[in-house]
A and B are shown apart, each in its own frame.
Chain A
Amino acid sequence: MQLRLRCFFSLLLLTAAGTAGAQAIKDTTYKPVEIQGGLRLGVDITRFALKYFQPYRTDVTVAADAQYSRNLYFAGELSYNNTSHTDSNYSYKGNGASVTLGVDYNLLKKRDPGEKNIIYVGARYGFAAFSYDIPTYTVHDPIWGDYSSSYPKTNATAHWVELLIGIRAEVFRNFYMGWSLRDRILLNKGLANRDFPALVIPGYGKGNKGNQFDVMYNVSYFIPLYKVHTKVMEIKTRK
């Protein structure tokens, strides 16, 4: 395969040289090639850094993707969230899980069909099921006195659409790293507009926002499993 690809590239160079000569006739043929397909499993390391900035959040996100065709990948993420917070204003407990499913599409066009480093755009549908309760909250009022109450355990589901752009590179053999920028648009907006919204929606972000921007940094391992069949264009020149 390596040899064939080298031939392919040298042929391209010849055609570039050949166009200078006037009477060259070009034949375009498509040669089938196989790309190593498989399952890429990764973990999002930004979720661990997040705990430093938002100590009440414990998040774990794992990501997986599999190549379908030359430029298209099926991809998804599984997330778990546990939120626990107590201060003088309120206490909060929540946990839940989410799943996202969608595709990534490679944007780099002029490349070796088996190229492993890609720049991609993607879309996901996200779904989360979670529950939360507010065991106690206090509205502080220096004039009339503090008001304390609680909010009972509530189950909720969230749906969102996620748009993303990212890059991914093979750092060592079968070992990948890459980041992606994501925007999540909550479909059931009523969830965010409640008087008692969730503090965190698993896999989504802040529970009182209808739109969430996020960054993921995935460290992943590729397990070769199958072959993806595709074609490369060959241009032959004859006089």
Chain B
Amino acid sequence: MVRDSVLPSLTIFAIDNDTLLARQAGYRGVQLPLNGLADSSRFYLKATSTSGADTITFRYKRVPHFISAGCGFVNYFNIDTIFSTYNEIDSVVINSTQVTTDNATTLTLFF
């Protein structure tokens, strides 16, 4: 059965960088920061405390974009490819390949 689930113990690292979340309960969705200094970003993701962890890799083009005179510039990302391991994750659905200032869901993970 497919249902929107709350993850019991979520850990996410930005690989080669920082811990974004460590064993946090109660997450239904997360925002991952893509690396604006490189054309790919990798994230370690562990949704429960029991089973194995997964790695999700994003490959994309960076598109700097002007927002407004007051805000300046942000990076838009055009995602080419997403790789994932499938230890915990059952499947990955790409909803949108454009990462902009819109609050659109890019990726849906099925466990």
A residues within 8 Å of B by Cβ?
A: 54, 56, 85, 87, 89-90, 137-139, 141, 143-145, 147, 149, 195-197, 199, 206, 208
Q: Which of B57-111 contact A (CB under 8 A)?
A: 63-66, 68-69, 71-76
In this assembly, does B9 line the interface, its C-beta being within 8 Å of a C-beta of chain A? no
In this assembly, does B51 line the interface, its C-beta being within 8 Å of a C-beta of chain A? no
B residues within 8 Å of A by Cβ?
A: 14, 17-18, 20, 33, 35-38, 63-66, 68-69, 71-76
Q: Ordered nearest first, which 7 A-B pairs have the shortest CB separation?
A: A89-B72, A147-B36, A144-B35, A137-B73, A90-B72, A143-B33, A195-B65
Task: Give the chain A neighbours of B75 by CB distance below 8 A.
Answer: 139, 147
Task: Provide the bound-state CA to CA distance between A139 and B37, in Å.
Answer: 10
Task: Provide the bound-state CA to CA distance between A145 and B14, in Å.
Answer: 13
Query: B73 near A139 (CB under 8 angstroms)?
Result: yes
Task: Give the chain B neighbours of A56 by CB distance below 8 A.
Answer: 69
**Which of A141, A144, A206, A208: most chain B CB closer than 10 A?**
A144
What residue of chain A has the Cβ atom nearest to residue B35's Cβ? A144
**Which of B17, B33, B65, B73: most chain A CB closer than 10 A?**
B73
Q: Write the nearest CB–CB distance from B76 to chain A, whole angstroms.
A: 8
Task: Provide the bound-state CA to CA distance between A85 and B68, in Å.
Answer: 12
Task: Provide the bound-state CA to CA distance between A144 and B35, in Å.
Answer: 6
Q: Write the nearest CB–CB distance from B89 to chain A, whole angstroms.
A: 23
Q: Write the nearest CB–CB distance from A16 to chain B, whole angstroms.
A: 59
Q: Write the nearest CB–CB distance from A50 to chain B, whole angstroms.
A: 13
Q: Write the nearest CB–CB distance from A211 to chain B, whole angstroms.
A: 16
What residue of chain A has the Cβ atom nearest to residue B16's Cβ? A144
Specify which of B35, B38, B72 is in contact with A137 (CB 8 Å cutoff): B72
19 new A-B contacts, CB < 8 A, other than A89-B72, A137-B73, A144-B14, are A56-B69, A85-B69, A89-B71, A90-B72, A137-B72, A139-B36, A139-B73, A139-B74, A139-B75, A141-B33, A141-B36, A144-B17, A144-B33, A147-B36, A149-B64, A195-B63, A195-B65, A196-B64, A196-B66
Query: A208 near B64 (CB under 8 angstroms)?
Result: no
**Which of A56, A147, A197: most chain B CB closer than 10 A?**
A147
Task: Provide the bound-state CA to CA distance between A96 and B65, in Å.
Answer: 23
Specify which of B14, B17, B63, B73 is in contact with A89 (CB 8 Å cutoff): B73
Task: Provide the bound-state CA to CA distance between A56 and B76, in Å.
Answer: 26
Q: Write the nearest CB–CB distance from B49 to chain A, whole angstroms.
A: 24
Task: Provide the bound-state CA to CA distance between A17 and B53, in Å.
Answer: 98
Query: B64 near A139 (CB under 8 angstroms)?
Result: yes
Task: Provide the bound-state CA to CA distance between A87 and B73, in Å.
Answer: 12
**What are 26 inter-chain pairs, A to B, with CB distance below 8 A?**
A85-B69, A90-B72, A137-B64, A137-B72, A137-B73, A138-B72, A138-B73, A139-B73, A139-B74, A141-B36, A143-B14, A143-B18, A143-B33, A144-B14, A144-B17, A144-B38, A145-B36, A147-B36, A147-B75, A195-B64, A195-B65, A195-B66, A195-B76, A196-B64, A196-B66, A199-B69
